[in-house]
Amino acid sequence: MDPAPTSPLARAEHFVWLTARVLEQRRFAYHFLPQRDGLEPAVDAVERALAAYLNDDGGYGHALEPDLRGPVSQPLHTAYALRVLDEIGRCGGQRIERVCRYLTEISTPTGALPALHPSLRGYPAAPWIPVVDDPPSDLLATGPVTGLLHRGGVWHAWLFRATDFCWSAVERLADGAPTHPYEVMAAITFLDCVPDRQRAGAVAERLGARVREQRLVVLDPWDAADHPVPAGYGPGEHHFAHDFARLPGSVARPWFSDAEMSAALDHLAAAQQEDGGWPINWRQWAPGTALECRPMVTIDALLTLRAYGREIG
């Protein structure tokens, strides 16, 4: 019998092969495993697995984002798809033209995206994301999509309107409008990618001050139980420095001292569970969603730890 894997990476690999969807298996192989002779190139394998979620309208569906079930295209599914394509260097070309046509068709009058398009009505979805007939523009969906398209060098008429919306929304947050961690993370993705780096840096500095003032980040991870969670979040749904500054080059990295970031990374490394995966900290409203989300969270944890120079094996 082979000995049990001991390094964080080896334990995570066992967990991924045991539990993950094909897409996350191939993402894991792309990021962490050497290419093996006779196998499809890792980047092509990721793209082919992602294509299974693509719909004829140019958007992505089929529960790509596990908290939204059903086959129909949704902005949050499409945001995750763009993130995957960005990871493998393929967030451009004809496929993105089709995506932009889809985004144009579902955008609100401001040119932005709703968090949830009403086409999801009738399919299961997380209870904290309501389906409404006339959904408002939402930074949660628009920020990541707009930012990643900018990083991919995409030019499209819709993108200009969406960018104006994002700047306005992020400026409001930086000026002190009430917010919550997931909205801030959407803002960070936009600011990390948007071409105007000087403006992005200035806005990010102000936004970081608001995050600390509103206590949206737990700065002492070992004391998290005593830290309040934002309204509407589940028990224990805390966010730490590494959740905001996933990579050292992020505009959010200067928000935290070296000691604060080190403590957050220590806590992240220690959160790996006995089965090799990392836990999710939001409400588990259906058994399948928890199973599908844990490999996604595990890949994110490994990528962050490696980016900061932590030994993962």
For the chain, give the mean pLDDT.
94
- Reference 280, options 298, 265, 264; nearest CA is 298
What whole-number distance in Å separates Cα of residue 166 and Cα of residue 86? 19
What whole-number distance in Å separates Cα of residue 204 and Cα of residue 254? 9
Q: Which of 121-125, 181-185, 232-236, 247-251 has the lowest mean pLDDT?
A: 232-236
Q: pLDDT tens digits for 92-141?
A: 888 899 999 999 999 999 889 999 999 999 999 999 888 999 999 999 99
pLDDT of 39 reads 66
CA 146 to chain CA centroid, Å, is 13
pLDDT above 60 for 1: no
Q: How confident is the model at residue 6 (pLDDT cuts 50, 70, 90)?
A: confident
| pTM reported for the whole predicted model | 0.95
pLDDT of 3 reads 58
Are the beta carbons of 193 and 148 closer than 8 angstroms?
Answer: yes
Q: Which of 4-8, 66-70, 129-133, 209-213 has the lowest mean pLDDT?
A: 4-8
